[in-house]
Structure 1
């Protein structure tokens, strides 16, 4: 059976994805930028617009990471505002489960779900570092197993709050013209090692039952967490085979949790460069990558792995001839990439082998190792490759990460989406009014 492709947009925020030197690159905080990307996404019948989260300005070598100075606005505020300028587009936000509280997050998402008529989604994440935790009363951080355990309990608790209202608890009294509330409406009580709360939830059940639950993470714990509760999982794979392996693994875990394969969607993040020809697109893509990874950026990224000052190195020269510093404090603070290196010495050996095999300079190596899944080519080539990934079970769709804000998806929407529609693998209208309906997820009781 031919699968339908799901598409979504990521507002990139502060990172090296955005080509800041391009005159078309506009504000990361003005509402007009969010509006443009949201309206473009809805015009293209995308499932949702996704916002990431940054709970603290990142630092490198004791200085604020320069891209963070453009601002990191509050997720709920932006999504609530976008609910008023869109009709069908889902509104997905990343909210941390380590430093927040279930009642507060459940109330905010339930409110957003009502304001948007059933289009809210929550990307459940954990926070891994004490640096970020210093911004919060609880502070500190939790080991990975405890972080995911708290996240599981957090999600269970919020779902109890969402589900504490049922259908007809609130009824209208025709004689008095007032509303009568069943005393059981919104009643909850939850007690475990992390949370001990009880009371009455203030927001009635939303149009889609409860917000769609997303989870991001490629670790084994992350995959298991997604398989147990999430409606969709975000991932990142650079090849078709890697995507197929991840897809098969995550889908195989669902049965153990009493779930079917269609209850969890897989969304890799990807970038797209569309040109008049394949050669034109490849040329554009090479230019974009060099703009994204300048010489200083390459050195700064290398310093994240080596964990030492490499400012004297030539970015167009070879890698350091000494090993990374594995002990002591980390040079970069608040960056998720620093924990993804795992074994720093092993990663450095791998980078050296790659650089030697391909005769790569530092900058060329960083361009290669930081590249995300990309579709590069003419409109027909991009459409064909995206369809191949979905039909061969490497994904259920894609979250598109533009290199320009806010107009980076305009070409894709105008030139590729119509070809996907012609192939019969992409919708020509929204099938429903809620995000859960548009994603094709099972209806909640």
Structure 2
């Protein structure tokens, strides 16, 4: 508990700043490394006893300057940066970046590659929501649900491992498509996961959805109206929990999302309970999308005919001089991109994840900006905590699903 410091705050006397309060306010320094903050960031809270009067957040403790680093990297090497933003659902970050570059280059990705991307992005969304809702249960004092869900997350990581050999930061895609097609084992693991996840998720819901203690801890805790959420720039589950029916997959379809039938769950009050319920239902919808994609997976190539930008298969590099030349030029970053300015967004685990790319015709981005949903909605945290207790603030932060790597990218 060394990260929490409780001292009298002489700079904010109650009689001046908060005349309705009786007694002396104290400053609670929550973070930056306290486990309850779920990341390295700080909240300086003014407290009247257990009640939060106001707060101010401080970020930047793990800022890694990804946008600046990207200006010195060839386009395909930036995947190792997007990987490490929201590391709970890294495939969505990576494919979003690949689609942005494909938009700049004018590359049309084959239908099979688009469906494979959808399957992997929805698996990543499930993994992201499993972590968020499971840990929300832990923060409310219920540990069992977390154990159930982490077993299922492990199965998703094993699917990643089968596809690319990695588990957390998963470089499965390429500019122009996928690195490789699904193996039979990968297809088997995905189908097995679609069978094994529903009963576990149902049991998790039985533990929490109508649990009186959990409901008392989350209902009307940290609510935000639709108008306030929009004014802050909320997207994703946190916006939909406030009652706004906005999803990038529907509003601006990409990677053939228009081919799939699914609903967008929305809440009403925008409180912690609604955020929990929206993410729960989104996992069911993701499974529905994956099932449709698996049943209708198109035949054909898994990468576009764009040899100037798509890394050739290693077997071809060993026996084809043309493939060897392209491999060398791509790896060494010797192919110029066209001049252009593009923006592309995907529905990330936390909301609209956007990439604003400016190319001056060189071999690296002239300028690249990430629209990180965590950075945007975390600004509302002090307002959502005002008037609540310290224990409520922990649950509010947990339900927002603030990912420090995305916040400080």
Answer yes or no: same fold by TM over 0.5.
no
- Superposition TM-score, scaled by structure 1 size: 0.25
- Superposition TM-score, scaled by structure 2 size: 0.26
If each structure's strand is expressed as a fraction of its own residues, which one has the higher value? 1
